[in-house]
Amino acid sequence: MIPISIIIPAYNEEKSIARAIKSATAQSLKNIEIIVVNDASPDKTAEIVKQIASTDNRVKLISHNKNMGLNQSRLTGLSIAQGEYIQFLDADDSLEKNAIEQLYSHAKSHNLDMVMMGSQHYHKYLKFKITIFYPDKYFKKTIYNSIELMPNLLCKLGFPLSLWDKFYRKELLNSVWTTAEHEFYGEDMLTNIRIFNTDASLGWIDYIGYNWTTGGASKKSATDTWEDDKKLYNRCRSVLEEINASTAENLHALACGAVNSFIYSISQQLVNPFASKRKCKEWIKTELQSDFWDNVIPFLGSSHIAICNRDADSTLEIARHHLNAHRLSFLALKLLIS
């Protein structure tokens, strides 16, 4: 059996795909397969991958006939992967040379279902790196049951919701991943909520192994309708309703997760020029009166007073504050690396 499958979804990444694949082929652990899923790219992405594959038989190209989106591309790669463990790599990102060897060694030595590593923002022109996530800041134990970390996933600022900084046993991914789940943005968070709700064993390595750059690896054609922009929140809500958390701490985390996805969905409307702000406010009022919040509000603290009071105006202002804070953080990052 091949120990590791690296899955790279790619859409219109002719400028970066070679760098991503090179970071995979250059790994110190050589017994790997690299699956590139070309998501019907109209550019030269497929041609570049074919050329690389002709010189390295570890590289495999799978192409979609139509654009299906980032996580359907990941699912396509997963369906043919032979590795015991899976590493996702976005087509505009890269891995540090020893990342896969360290992840795999740690997973095998502790019989882990998942291993987390550190990540950093990489400016590809200035070669400037800024740490995004460092596991040592969050983890005190060597091994966790994944459900223990649900509060970190949903509540702690800076704890990553992404798939690419986590190394998964393939069986674990197959147990939680469904095609219907992954038709729109926010799929990483939804998948990780399901994974962290299992009894998977999770560990971490003291190593920054993933280099992240801005932009996505695959995209579905965007729509400008309000209904499509509500999908993430509605799906998060459905997932959270299905989950049974046994501890008060996890119930609080799941409640906060519902609030966060709600606020995020609202903030997306504030930057969407095609969205009706009047309809957005009407939706907030209607949503806050739903039975769903009857079950969530008892587990929220005083920091979520607007939701607890079902105050639509205050909730909208919180979303505006969230959006402005995000814009300031992004501007600060640009200034640091420019």
Q: Which residue has the higher pLDDT, 315 or 301?
A: 315
Per-residue pLDDT band for 216 (boundaries 50, 70, 90) equals very low
Non-local CB neighbours of 59 within 8 Å, separated by 6+ positions: 21, 25, 34, 36, 49, 52, 53
Domain membership of residue 236 (yes or no) is yes
Say if residue 139 is in the same domain as residue 249.
no
Say if residue 191 is in the same domain as residue 91.
yes
Say if residue 177 is in the same domain as residue 253.
no
Give the whole-angstrom CA distance, residue 72 versus residue 182.
6
| Residue 80 CA, distance from chain mean position | 21
Q: What is the CATH number of the domain that holds 66?
A: 3.90.550.10
Length of the chain counted residue by residue = 338
Query: β-strands 114-123, 201-212: how paired?
Result: parallel
Using the 3D structure, point to which of 212, 246, 264 is the last residue of a domain: 212
- Per-residue pLDDT tens digits for 237-286: 777 777 765 566 777 777 887 888 788 778 877 877 766 778 888 889 99
Residue among 271, 280, 243, 266 nearest 154 (CA): 243
Spatial contact of 27 and 95, defined as CB atoms under 8 Å apart: yes
Residue among 317, 216, 226 nearest 263 (CA): 317
Say if residue 150 is in the same domain as residue 18.
yes
Say if residue 56 is in the same domain as residue 192.
yes
Say if residue 190 is in the same domain as residue 232.
no
Q: Cα dihedral sign for 136, 139, 145, 149?
A: negative
Percent of the chain with pLDDT over 70: 82
User: Looking at the chain, which runs of residues are DSSP E strands?
Assistant: 4-10, 32-38, 59-63, 85-88, 94-95, 114-123, 128-133, 143-145, 166-169, 201-212
- Per-residue pLDDT tens digits for 35-73: 999 999 999 999 999 999 999 999 999 999 998 888 889
The answer on pLDDT for 230 being more than 70 is: no
Residue corresponding to tokens 């205050």: 314
Say if residue 182 is in the same domain as residue 238.
no
Region of poorest pLDDT, from 81-95, 284-298, 323-337? 323-337
DSSP, collapsed to helix, strand or coil, labels residue 91 as coil
Say if residue 85 is in the same domain as residue 123.
yes
The single-letter code of the amino acid at 156 is: K
| Residue 120 CA, distance from chain mean position | 15
Per the structure, the complete domain to which residue 86 belongs is given by: 4-212
The answer on pLDDT for 153 being more than 90 is: no
Average pLDDT of every residue of the chain: 84
Phi, psi angle pair for 215, to nearest 5°: 100, 155
Spatial contact of 153 and 159, defined as CB atoms under 8 Å apart: yes
DSSP, collapsed to helix, strand or coil, labels residue 82 as coil
Say if residue 46 is in the same domain as residue 188.
yes
Say if residue 71 is in the same domain as residue 142.
yes
**C-alpha distance from residue 315 to each of 13, 142, 252, 259, 302 (Å):** 38, 39, 19, 10, 14
Say if residue 149 is in the same domain as residue 289.
no
Straight-line distance from the first to the last Cα atom of the chain, in angstroms, rounded to the nearest whole number: 45
The single-letter code of the amino acid at 262 is: F
| Residue 72 CA, distance from chain mean position | 13
Per-residue pLDDT band for 337 (boundaries 50, 70, 90) equals very low
Say if residue 264 is in the same domain as residue 205.
no
Give the whole-angstrom CA distance, residue 8 versus residue 288.
39
Give the whole-angstrom CA distance, residue 208 versus residue 61.
28
